[in-house]
A and B are shown apart, each in its own frame.
Chain A
Amino acid sequence: MFAVPAILLLFERKWRFVLAFFSVYLVSVFGFEYLKTIEAGLAFSLVVSTMMIVSHMMPITIVLYYVMMSTKVNEFLAAMARMHVPNKVTIPLAVMARFFPTVFDEAHAIGNAMRMRGIRLFSLRTLANPFSILEYRLVPLLVSVTKISDELSIAAVTRGLSPETKRTCVANVGFRVQDLIVFVYCLLVVVCYVFPGLTGNLLAR
């Protein structure tokens, strides 16, 4: 299953990213398969369960990353409109996609401000009151994020984004051979999972 996002990411020329995540994934998958047979203490089983979580969650996270990174907002809106998904569903999703980079940007600036004040993640004071660190991070983040989200929606509505009107799109969005290949492959994988007897479990990986 990991192969799909990995290959798609290779098309986007993210060599190092793919290599790094592929190795982490392989280590956790095989590590888990090998180590799960051994019985040992609590610390050991923590490691094993972490490996299990990584091997299960990673493909999904990577797919999400791929979608966020490669799809422009307007392409997303156009593709969804083609699939007859109502605007009321897609516009909020599009806003969310636009929102994440902004939140990271803001969080970075706040982190800088905290470092300047000498508030560190691990110090005597924060250990004594672990919630304070959460408060220092979240209060300014929430304030700036609410302001920005308001400004963003104003920018969108004054430029005519509305659920009632039908949009066009400059990008050519459609279902092509490449999409068919990926679609069929994914379908096959799903079938293999549901009926494991049909083929070996290996393809599903």
Chain B
Amino acid sequence: MNISLKNVSFSYTDSLDNAVIKDLNLEIRSGECVILAGESGCGKTTISKLINGLIPHYNSGCMSGDVFLGEKNTADMTLAEISRCVGSVFQNPRSQFFNIDTDSEIAFGCENMGMPREKILQRIDDVVKEFRMEHLIGRNIFHLSGGEKQKIACASVAAAGPEIFVLDEPSANLDLKTVADLTEIVGRWKKTGKTVVVVEHRIHYLREIADRICYVKDGRIAHEWTPAELEAKGAEYAASLGLRCVNLNQLSEVERSKDLSKRSTAELQVFKDLYFAYNRKFPVLNIPMLTLPRGQITAVIGHNGAGKSTLAQVLCGLCGTWRQKRKARKYGAYLIMQDVNHQLFTESVLEEVLLGMRPQNEKTALEILAGLNLEQYAYEHPMALSGGQKQRVAIGSGVSSGRDIVVFDEPTSGLDYRQMLAVSATLQKLAASGKTLLVITHDPEFILNCCSNIIRMEHGKIAEQYPLQGNQDKLIHAMLNV
């Protein structure tokens, strides 16, 4: 089924004066795989919402122009009708489930279409075989990893058998191995003649599948390339447009030329007996000794379920025995969570920084904020800030409570190139001020940009630990084959 957007403008407000989408024309042929790329806030997600009918049926705003799916105008269809031909997968694996168990989730779309029971069971069977996910059947979705959840989301959309798939930053929360599964899934859809639209700024995993990359800027399509064309222009060109690298092998060549000698080893900080188990026989985390170079950034890599998050929690005294928690308080580790919304409590940015400070001193607090480029927001409500600013407020609250070790849980998931560089700069500044940083991440570009040490975890243990210098290829290799 082809998609065509004709002279579409859209604004989330009442008038088209500051429209997100401006007079957009886009033709996507049946069976094509198109990537909508661009920096955050450029309007690419809005385009995906125009295709899956959330605009104009769910999000209100001001719209002109028409969107056609095949011959039909989406404005004349109901959302239920649109959902029969367009399947959508979203960014956040946590909140795109309506059911609590995996089986019902896969059946959900089919049930809503009123398919007979036998046919649904047949569909589930087919999809499970196709996605090779027999082990995920009959499980509680809350107990699955992010990658597994995203796989279930794809499967449940596929089971309903739509002609068009719209994916909104599906790779944002996934490790590279799971991203490879996603590549396979999209490839299979394309092979069976489905139309696939992917909103992304990570292009590398679809480089061999996508027919076109449409670069969206200010609500218009500014450039169009084939993946090969974009790759030929080089990594620096893509970076200048805010896109992540097109080819991960290209990445190691560019970044290898960087001088890493400044990131040499320093004084070490030692942690002993990091252990956690739900069940005595299978410890989730078992690290007799962990050494971190003081004043530097150490990356923790490893596939989902290797114990990375548990390590962060134990270090910060958020799980484990009473004795472990008391010991953790002595380490003084502070966690910046993936969802920073969870750790901002107060009514102003300044208050947020003062909250953990002993003794409270407004002048020092303002200095900390200035160091994080937040001084002009000191009296704003933290929830009114952008994602990156919120993250910096959380960092500020950690610094003000006098912690020496700051642990980050995937600080760059879902960020475009420019935002990633900003986070990386903040972290480097923090490290330069003498803090020890531990970063859990799946983002090779980010690691090459600012980390000096790598820890690879496997089955709750440290599999290897090495300096980044001279080991860039090893890192990329490890991340692609975890």
A residues neighboring B (CB under 8 Å) = 72-75, 94, 98, 101-102, 105-106, 109-110, 112-119, 135-137, 139-140, 143-144, 147-148, 151-162, 164-171
The reply on B90 being an interface residue by CB < 8 A is yes
Q: A110-B342, A115-B318, A164-B80 are in contact. Are A170 and B383 (CB under 8 A)?
A: no
The distance from the CB of B337 to the nearest CB of chain A, in whole angstroms, is: 7
Cross-chain contact A165 with B114 (CB below 8 angstroms): yes
A49 to B57, CA, bound (A): 53
10 A-B pairs closest in CB distance: A113-B343, A160-B112, A160-B83, A136-B345, A151-B95, A155-B96, A162-B80, A158-B88, A159-B109, A170-B107
Min distance, Cβ B158 to any Cβ of chain A, angstroms: 12
Cβ contacts under 8 Å, B171 to chain A:
none
The reply to whether the CB of B436 lies closer than 8 angstroms to some CB of chain A is no
Give Cα A167 to B113, complex, Å: 6
B335: chain A residues at CB < 8 Å are 113, 116
- Are A170 and B120 in contact, with the CB atoms below 8 A? yes
- For A102, the chain B residues whose CB sits under 8 A away are 94-95
Q: Verify B104–A148 contact, CB threshold 8 A.
A: no
Contacts of B334 in A (CB 8 A): 116
One of B99, B157, B342 near A106 (C-beta < 8 A): B342
CB<8 Å pairs between A and B, sample of 26 = A72-B101, A73-B104, A74-B99, A98-B98, A102-B94, A102-B95, A109-B342, A113-B337, A113-B343, A116-B318, A117-B401, A135-B345, A135-B346, A139-B345, A139-B346, A140-B343, A151-B92, A152-B98, A158-B53, A159-B83, A159-B88, A159-B108, A159-B160, A160-B113, A167-B112, A168-B114
In contact, A101 and B100 (Cβ under 8 angstroms): yes
Q: Are A114 and B114 in contact (CB under 8 A)?
A: no
Q: How far is the CA of A164 from the CA of B57 in the complex (A)?
A: 15
Residues of chain B from 70 to 90 with CB closer than 8 A to chain A in the complex: 78-80, 83-84, 86-88, 90
CA distance A162 to B58 in the complex (A): 12
CB distance from A96 to the nearest CB of B (A): 12
* Cβ of B244 to closest chain A Cβ, rounded Å: 24
CA A10 to CA B313, docked complex, whole Å: 35
With an 8 A cutoff between CB atoms, is B254 at the interface? no
Q: Which residues of B contact A157 (CB under 8 A)?
A: 54, 57-58, 79, 83
B142 contacts partner chain A, Cβ-Cβ < 8 Å: yes
Are B54 and A154 closer than 8 Å at their CB atoms? Answer: yes
Whether B103 is near chain A, meaning CB under 8 Å from some CB there, is yes
Cα A153 to Cα B142 with chains together (Å) = 18
Is B65 interfacial (CB 8 A cutoff)? no
Q: Which residues of A contact B80 (CB under 8 A)?
A: 160-162, 164-165
Select the residue from B101, B113, B335 with max chain A CB neighbours within 10 A. B113
**What residues on B are CB-neighbors of A143 within 8 Å?**
341, 383
Which A residues are CB-close (under 8 A) to B124? 170
- Indicate whether A158 sits within 8 Å of B95 (C-beta atoms), given known contacts A168-B117, A168-B120: no
Counting CB contacts under 8 A, is B391 at the interface?
A: no
Residues of A within 8 A of B97 (CB): 98, 152, 155
Kindly state the separation between the CA atoms of A162 and B344 in the bound complex, as whole angstroms.
36
Instruction: Report the bound CA distance from A101 to B98 in whole Å.
Output: 12
With A115-B318, A117-B343, A140-B342 given, is the CB distance from A156 to B95 under 8 Å? no
Q: Which residues of B contact A161 (CB under 8 A)?
A: 80, 98, 108, 112
Q: Which residues of B contact A151 (CB under 8 A)?
A: 90, 92, 95-96
CB-contact partner of A159 in B100, B120, B156, B356, under 8 A:
B156
Q: Which of B78, B115, B142, B397 meets A168, CB within 8 Å?
A: B115
In addition to A152-B96, A154-B58, A170-B121, 18 A-B residue pairs with Cβ atoms within 8 Å of each other are A73-B99, A75-B104, A98-B97, A112-B313, A113-B337, A113-B345, A116-B317, A118-B356, A139-B346, A148-B95, A155-B96, A158-B52, A158-B88, A160-B84, A160-B109, A161-B112, A162-B78, A168-B111
Complexed CA–CA distance, A109 and B100 (Å): 19
Rounded to whole angstroms, the CA-CA distance of A166 and B113 in the bound complex is: 8
- B99 touches which one: A72, A109, A116, A154 (CB < 8 A)? A72
Shortest distance in angstroms between A14's beta carbon and chain B's nearest beta carbon? Answer: 15
A162 touches which of B87, B99, B112 (Cβ 8 Å): B112
Bound together, the chains give a CA A153 to CA B95 distance in angstroms of 9
Q: How far is the CA of A151 from the CA of B316 in the complex (A)?
A: 30
**A98 nearest in chain B by CB position:** B98
Shortest distance between the CB of A128 and any CB in chain B (Å) = 14
Task: Please give, as numbers and ranges, the residues of chain A lying within 8 Å of B79 by CB-CB distance.
Answer: 157-158, 160, 162
Residue of B nearest to A135 (CB): B345
Which of B86, B116, B316 counts the most chain A CB atoms within 10 A?
Answer: B316
What residue in chain B is nearest A165 (Cβ atoms)?
B80
CB pair A140 B160 closer than 8 Å: no
Please name all residues of chain A whose beta carbon is closer than 8 Å to the beta carbon of B116 when the two chains form the complex.
Answer: 168
User: Within the complex, which residue of A74, A98, A114, A154 is in contact with B111, where a contact is CB–CB below 8 Å?
Assistant: A74
Q: Is B380's CB within 8 Å of the partner chain A?
A: no
Q: What's the least CB distance linking B138 to chain A, in Å?
A: 11
Which single member of B78, B111, B317 contacts A170 (CB below 8 Å)? B111
A97–chain B nearest beta-carbon distance, Å:
8
CB distance A117 to B355 under 8 Å?
A: yes
* Inter-chain contacts of B345 with A (CB < 8 A): 113-114, 117, 119, 135-137, 139-140
The answer on a CB contact under 8 Å between B83 and A73 is no
Tell me whether B356 and A117 are in contact (CB under 8 A): yes
Which chain A residues lie closer than 8 Å to B157 at the CB level? 159
Bound CA span A115–B322, Å: 13
In whole Å, how far is B402's beta carbon from the nearest beta carbon of chain A? 11
